Structure 1
Amino acid sequence: MEHTKKTVFPDDWEDEERMNFLFSDFKENREVHPSDWDSKMEFWTSLVLQTCRTHGAVSLSLKELNAAFKRNGRLPLGLTTVIQSMARCGKLQRESEFAANVDSGWLSWGVGVLLVKPLKWTFSTLLGSSLVSQDESFVVIELVKEKAADLMEAYRSSAFSGRSLLSFQELSELCSEVCPGESSLCLALLQLQREKRCTVSVHEGEKIVKFSRPGQCRVSPVSDVDVGIYQLQCSENLLGERIKVLGLEADKCREEARMLLRDRKKSQALRCLRGRKRVEKRADNLFAQLETIRGILDRIAQSQTDKLVMQAYQTGVAALRLALKDVTVEGAESLVDQIQELCDVQEDVNQTLAGVATSDENVDELEEELKALMEDADEMTDRLPGVLPEVPHNPLVLPRETAQGGSSLLASLPDVPTNTFNISDQQLEEELNRLTLRDSGLLRSLLVLLPAKLSSDSSVVMRIFSVPPSLQTLDRRRGWSRRCEEPC
């Protein structure tokens, strides 16, 4: 654990009584006081994780924890038990065991970088020793996963994201803030290797790192093509540095020639200028080589893009072939013909149903009948003015005035029409014979409406309306005919 920041302690750190209890050793049997045992274990576990996160460390040792938690000259006595308990819970793991779980030959690049030699823990593991050494390093699983995610994010957001391979030195400079120490960087890379998102190999004594590309679940092994690309990239960097050096040398020759001219040393100034020309010529040659290498790298990148496109095309062709496995042109043409035939049948059915509902002949007949009715209505309208009486223009009399005298009521009535109906007496008698009036009151009302010529003869009225003989006798006795002649 690297002490880059000051440890932040909880509020209980100033409580003497509380700290005396926490600095004491754990009981051998947890069942004696389980609540005290659990509270002490929870305190130290949270404090260990918080301290490692504050310092940016992903590993710890018993020696480092004793140095970090030393208080008033006292050391916590239960840290060994805390480390063992966290290891059993899976929160901690021995550093060498953590590296041994990686399948990509970590011994080829991890020995000498890790804090503990592999053989040192191998013998203690075989002997079954449960003691924790002061210098033995443990990896905090939760923190190393967070550090690996930060490392991956730093790489993909940098200018090196377009490169498939990076040297270990370049990666150390890139992630100096994320992983300040070499041990933290190695452990983060081991975690990425366990997650199949990174692979580390050694080429000509130099460690190179390959990350998974965006969209890929797993990183592919380092191939000869990757090594060739890495060599080209190294050559590009080397040429770029040499061109910068030559540029500085050319500027230096120019300044020397200017100073010699001030001192009137013309021959020496000419030699400096000739040297400057040679340096610029070498720089031009190197720059041409650099452009050639960059062109090759661009073509390789383009070929990789073309390869991805070809793979996508192949996948699409295979999927389309499976989708159209049971589809043929003949089958499609037959299906279209069946659909067209069914559409024609449906159209015929619709036309048939529409013909049954309304045919052209029925429509013509109905139009002729409607025309005849309209002509009859016009004839009736022409006859009405000659048959009906004129509309009265006298004002109506209120009921109170009518009660005062009957003369005013008679005066308010319109004149009796004098024109004759265009109906013969025989036709009127035949029409009235069809009616049967059984209510004498209704008969009296009808008599009022009849002209005076007809209403004066009661026998004619009786015969016209087919009044029964018994009713005729009863009305004669009552003087019905005489009353009918009187005004109402």
Structure 2
Amino acid sequence: MNKQNNNEAPMPSDTLPECWWDNDRMNALFAPFRNKNVNSEDWNSKLQFWTKFITDWGISNNICSFSIVDLKKAFKRDGRAPGCIQTVVEEMFKSGELQTMDRFMQTPQETWSGWAIDLLVKKPIYWSYTKMKETVVALTDDNTKFVNIKTVKCVSEKILNSINEDYVNKLINFHQLTTLVQSLNITEENLRISLHYLRCTGKISIKENQTTDNTDEDKLLIKFAAKNEKAIPVNDFDISIYALERNEEKLIKMIEELEGKKDAVIADAKAYLAKGMKPLAKNCLRKKLTLEKCIEKRSNILDNVQMLLSQVKETEYQTKVVDSYKKGINAFKSTYKEAGLTEDNVNEVINDVQEVLEMHDEIQSSLGQNLSQTIDLELEEELAELLAAEAEASKPATPEKVLPVEENEDFDKKHEELERRLRALHMNLPSPPKNTPSPQQFGS
């Protein structure tokens, strides 16, 4: 590998492909494409190299558009231009990686109806007409401008990252934007291409003021959207704030200039006094008084503009607060409506919950009962009977009960009375015969 100094390198040396310093390899890459059928793998590899090289070159230098002439000039090596650029551009154009400038810069439709007509009616007719025209005319003209889509995306992302949050959702003119992205070292043409892409992707809104009372700086107004949000179209409120801020800037600049002139007049008056030229010194003082009156008038106007601007911004903030309240209320209403939440429904649900909890407590109470309680009671009764029987068996024998004297006397009386009554009972029965009767006596 033979490394050499190359002051005309298309990119910084640390970003160049390693093979850039290899003469043999670059000679092969600079040569025109051979027949693809001979070696398709080598043909595709060479195309991929140049496609990536052109894209990286555009991203590194913030170049979104170029022609075949521009590429041949940019990629010169040792005074030799690559002989394969024509084929590379053709293939990138066919794959959609490149678009012609005219096609890319078509103004997008901002309304649904305009978009629908553009998509369903105009574009098919336009595409069928222009596709053949682009293929035949654009690729045969080395000065035709092409836009690299990948490069535009990367450069646009760089621009978004360069915008401070103070400029989000706020109108700025094109001149102010060029100041904000000055570090990118991007040309006006490439900046406008990137802005068009950002507009098409909804990252910015653009307002073009073609009225005669606007300066060149104020004819293109840009509003950047917040991160991960869609840009809000420019409205009259945005333009009013922009106009007040521009007037504020102009008034401040005018007052500064008048103050500078006043200081210069005072210096002249002192110089004339030093030279003894009092009439000229008085004339300078008159100019100073005139300038002071102008400064006072401008200052009063500036105070009014600043006060009005402050009130407008406060109104904007209050409007946003009210809008946020409305959105919050609508969100709550929508949530309640979707969920079917009403006071009656909530009370009904609360009652159902209480009933379910009561049922749950009853179930838990039932499940918590001791199933062996009845058996335990029976066992305890039986055990008590056994203990009582054992206690009865272990007691000593008790003597027969002796009746008291009074009870014995009553018993004797009753016994005597019974005997007496038995004796009183008698029956008159015949006396038994002395002889035993014979059988014949029974028969007669």
- SS at structure 1 position matched to 2:46: helix
2:283 equivalent to 1:271:
yes
Closer, same or farther: CA 318–215 of 1 in aligned 2, 3 Å: farther
**Pair 37,101 (structure 1): closer, same or farther in 2 beyond 3 Å:** farther
If asked which structure has higher relative contact order (CA below 8 Å, sep 6+), I would say 2
Q: How does 1:43-54 map to 2 (within 5 A)?
A: 43-54=49-60
Q: Is the 8 A contact 1:7 1:68 kept in 2?
A: no
- Mind listing any 5+ residue stretches in structure 2 that lack a counterpart? 1-7, 112-128, 372-393, 395-444
Note if 1:133 corresponds to 2:141: yes
Post-superposition offset of 1:30: 1.3
Q: Output the CA distance in 1 between the equivalents of 2:363 and 2:172.
A: 77
1:12 aligns with 2:24: no
Contact 1:7 1:51 in 2 (8 A): no
Amino acid at match of 2:148: V
Return the alpha-carbon distance in structure 2 between the equivalents of residues 208 and 232 of structure 1. Answer: 17
- Provide the C-alpha distance between the structure 2 equivalents of 1:63 and 1:42, rounded to a whole number of angstroms: 20
Q: Any idea what the Cα deviations from partners look like across 1:213-262, whole Å, max 9, x if unmatched?
A: 42673223222333322222221121111111111011111111221221
Displacement after TM superposition at 1:321 (Å): 2.0
Q: Are residues 247 and 349 of structure 1, via their aligned partners in 2, closer, same or farther at CA, if it must alter by over 3 Å? A: same
- Tell me if the contact between 1:197 and 1:219 (Cα under 8 Å) persists in the aligned partners: yes
Q: Secondary structure at the match of 2:162?
A: helix
2:31 to 1, 24, 43: 24
Matches of 1:237 and 1:315 in 2, distance apart?
36
User: Measured at CA, do residues 251 and 318 of structure 1 come closer, stay the same or move farther in structure 2, by a change above 3 Å?
Assistant: same
Alignment gaps of 5+ in structure 1:
106-120, 358-426, 428-488
Aligned equivalents of 1:47 and 1:353: distance in 2?
80
Determine if the alignment matches structure 1 residue 236 to structure 2 residue 242.
no
Structure 1 CA distance for aligned equivalents of residues 368 and 42 of structure 2: 94
Cα offsets for 1:180-214 (capped at 9, x unmatched): 21111101101101111113232126432332442
Task: Say whether residues 1:79 and 2:91 are aligned partners.
Answer: no
TM-score (norm 2): 0.66
What CA distance in whole angstroms lies between the structure 2 residues aligned with 1:352 and 1:51? 83
The 1:297/1:123 distance shift into structure 2, 3 A limit, reads same
Q: What's the secondary structure of 1:200's corresponding residue?
A: strand
Q: Does 1:185 align with 2:209?
A: no
| Pair 270,13 (structure 1): closer, same or farther in 2 beyond 3 Å | same
SS at match of 2:206: strand
* Shift in alpha-carbon separation, 1:14–1:73, aligned structure 2, 3 A: same
Per-residue CA distance 1:263-320 (angstroms, 9 max, x = gap):
2333432332232232122112212211211222222222222222222211221222
Residue aligned with 1:201, SS: strand
Question: Any residues of structure 2 matched to 1:237-256 within 5 Å, and which?
Answer: 237-256=249-268
Distance 1:104 1:273, change over 3 A: farther
Deviation at 1:353, TM superposition (A): 10
Matched, 1:307 2:313: no
Q: What's the secondary structure of 1:177's corresponding residue?
A: helix
2:287 maps to a residue whose letter is G
Pick from 164, 175, 178 the counterpart of residue 172 of structure 1: 178
Cα RMSD of the aligned pairs, angstroms, is: 3.7
Task: Please give the alpha-carbon distance, in whole angstroms, between the structure 1 residues aligned to 2:152 and 2:341.
Answer: 54
Structure 1 position 144 matched with structure 2 position 156 = no
Offset of 1:344 from its aligned partner?
A: 7.2
Moved more, 225-234 or 56-65: 225-234
Select which of 155, 159, 182 maps to 2:163.
Answer: 155
Is contact 2:99-2:149 (8 Å) kept? yes
Q: Please give the secondary structure, in 1, of the residue aligned with 2:182.
A: coil
Q: Aligned residue for 2:295?
A: 283
TM-score when scaled to structure 1? 0.61
| Secondary structure of 2:304's aligned partner | helix
